[in-house]
């Protein structure tokens, strides 16, 4: 079978000699062993490792049933969640949907997201939209207590209850949350909402192959079985304890570069549809590795767009960067540049060429220019932006992240640091139990 993901560190070899890379490769293989043994740090949260092979038909059928039910009369699905309870679904839906989906004729309900911010304007505008659409809601929170989605859900639930009544709300609201804990679990059980369980041993940023990701993705009309099939392929490929394992290679390269002072990794895409994949990837690596005052800072750029804004810095600014380019081998659509008799724009030298060919030359030219400028490049190639490739890519990054975190020597599966802002926010909002802290903080403002 043709490989779905290939890694090339060729453009980085002038920064990391082969002998040195081999040392990191060995470290990555040892980290893979540790991950597979289940004896490393954070091993209570390794449930994501075999999600693709463990997904039951019963689960995918239950998910599809919700879609079939809502197909009849629902125009708008509000998907509520933040962080790991938001980004996976958003990334996949953006990557696989028409670029102008909201302006194209609707084939099913439109998906919008909420609960990923606390903007009054955003939520008031969501209310404007809900007033003119038939609404359903998927509310996702593992803890069931996160403030941002809780605020959004309070508003959306109120709208649904007042518009359609309690009985109909049972059909229009679905909760994805913990098996037994948290306010959302209690609310779902008490109100009779349909619900899905997020497994205890899967953390938010590794949950895209649970109902957290699968339900919204299916509601957007995407074939979740194909997505899981791609992930399953990658589950098998990345279990191999060999130097050909792409997750081992990527983890080895990025840690080798980090050891050379390349402390910021830019994930580069050449397709606007991949913008949110980068956002998902940033959370995956940032929240997994940014610990104990260590970790590569994950950032992202959308090329060629950002070559006209960030290109100068990348080419010539401080040399603490490396780039990882997601290269998509073939476009899904076919479009060539037309010829023009007058050639007033001087573009006839491109006439007849595919747009993607121009994109590819921009990609290759940029890789060489940035490498020459002191920015090592890694390249991850996928055949196309298909559901299967995307499933493989997501799983690949998850596996590489686990390996990479173990090479770095941190626990890649906790996120204690996220709590600090929450405590301060609760104190400043006078949440019961946080009064004293609130007084202390207010004096500092």
Please name every residue paired with 301 in a beta bridge, in sequence order, or none if there are none. 268
Q: Which of 27, 172, 205, 282 binds ligand PA5 (CB under 6 A)?
A: 205
Residue 308 annotated in active site: yes
Q: What residues between 145 and 164 interact with ligand PA5 by CB under 6 A?
A: 146, 149
Q: Name the residue nearer to ligand PA5 (CB basis): 98 or 179.
A: 179
Q: Which of 141, 210, 371, 377 binds ligand PA5 (CB under 6 A)?
A: 141
d(CA 206, CA 398): 7
Residue 422 annotated in active site: yes
Set 2, 39, 293, 308: catalytic member = 308
Q: What residues between 282 and 301 interact with ligand PA5 by CB under 6 A?
A: 287
Does 210 interact with ligand PA5 (rule: CB under 6 A)? no
Does 55 interact with ligand PA5 (rule: CB under 6 A)? no
d(CA 379, CA 388): 19
Size of the site for ligand PA5 (CB under 6 A): 15
Set 287, 289, 323, 398: catalytic member = 287
d(CA 299, CA 280): 11
Kind of pairing between the strands at 173-177 and 297-302: unpaired
d(CA 310, CA 298): 15
Does 185 interact with ligand PA5 (rule: CB under 6 A)? no
Does 398 interact with ligand PA5 (rule: CB under 6 A)? no
Q: What residues between 79 and 138 interact with ligand PA5 by CB under 6 A?
A: 82-85
How buried is 12 (Cβ within 10 angstroms: 0-12 exposed, 13-18 middle, 19+ buried)? Answer: buried
Q: Name the residue nearer to ligand PA5 (CB basis): 203 or 374.
A: 203
**Within its chain, how far is the Cα of 229 from the centroid?**
18
Does 211 interact with ligand PA5 (rule: CB under 6 A)? no
Measure the CA angle with vertex 140, ends 146 and 291; round to 5°: 55
Stretch in the footprint of ligand PA5 (CB under 6 A) among 78-86, 220-228, 238-246, 318-326? 78-86
Residue 20 annotated in active site: no
Set 98, 422, 435, 439: catalytic member = 422
SS3 4: coil
In 233-387 the beta strands, taken as DSSP E runs, fall at 264-269, 297-302, 321-330, 377-384
SS3 8: strand
Q: Which of 142, 254, 379, 399 binds ligand PA5 (CB under 6 A)?
A: 142
- Which amino acids are annotated catalytic? 287, 308, 422
């Amino acid at each position: 079978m043709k490989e779905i993901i290939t890694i090339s560190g060729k453009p980085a070899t002038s920064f990391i000699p082969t002998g040195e890379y081999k040392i990191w490769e060995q470290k990555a293989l040892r980290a893979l062993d540790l991950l597979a043994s289940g004896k490393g740090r954070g091993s209570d949260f390794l449930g994501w490792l075999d999600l693709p092979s463990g997904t039951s038909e019963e689960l995918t059928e239950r998910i599809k049933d919700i879609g079939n039910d809502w197909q009849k009369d629902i125009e708008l699905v509000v998907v509520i969640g933040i962080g790991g309870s938001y980004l996976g679904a958003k990334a996949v839906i953006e990557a696989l949907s028409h670029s102008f989906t909201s302006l194209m004729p609707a084939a099913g309900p439109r998906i919008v997201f909420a609960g990923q911010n606390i903007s009054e304007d955003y939520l008031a505008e969501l209310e404007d939209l809900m007033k003119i659409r038939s609404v359903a809601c998927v509310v996702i929170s593992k803890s069931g207590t996160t403030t941002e989605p809780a605020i959004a859900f309070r508003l959306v639930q109120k709208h649904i209850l007042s518009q359609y009544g309690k009985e109909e709300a049972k059909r229009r609201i679905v909760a994805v949350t913990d098996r037994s804990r948290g306010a959302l679990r209690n609310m779902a059980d008490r109100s009779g909402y349909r619900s899905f369980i997020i497994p205890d041993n899967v953390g938010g940023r590794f949950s895209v192959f649970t109902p957290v990701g699968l339900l919204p993705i299916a509601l957007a009309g995407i074939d979740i079985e194909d997505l899981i099939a791609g992930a399953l392929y990658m589950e098998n490929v990345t279990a191999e304890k060999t130097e050909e394992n792409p997750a081992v290679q990527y983890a080895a390269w990025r840690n080798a570069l980090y050891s050379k002072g390349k402390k910021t990794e830019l994930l580069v895409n050449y397709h606007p549809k991949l913008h949110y994949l980068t956002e998902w990837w940033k959370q995956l690596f940032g929240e997994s590795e940014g610990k104990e005052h260590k970790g590569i800072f994950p950032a992202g750029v959308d090329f060629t767009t950002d070559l006209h804004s960030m290109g100068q810095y990348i080419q010539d600014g401080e040399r603490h960067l490396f780039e990882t380019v997601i290269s998509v081998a073939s476009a899904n659509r076919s479009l060539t540049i037309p010829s023009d008799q007058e050639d007033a724009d001087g573009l006839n030298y491109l006439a007849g060429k595919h747009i993607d060919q121009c994109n590819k030359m921009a990609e290759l030219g940029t890789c060489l220019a940035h490498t020459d400028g002191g920015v090592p490049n890694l390249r991850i190639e996928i055949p196309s932006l298909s559901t299967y490739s995307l499933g493989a890519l997501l799983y690949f990054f998850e596996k590489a992240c686990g390996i990479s975190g173990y090479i770095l020597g941190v626990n890649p599966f906790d996120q204690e640091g996220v709590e600090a802002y929450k405590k301060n926010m609760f104190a400043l909002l006078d949440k019961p139990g946080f009064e004293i802290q609130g007084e202390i903080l207010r004096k500092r403002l």
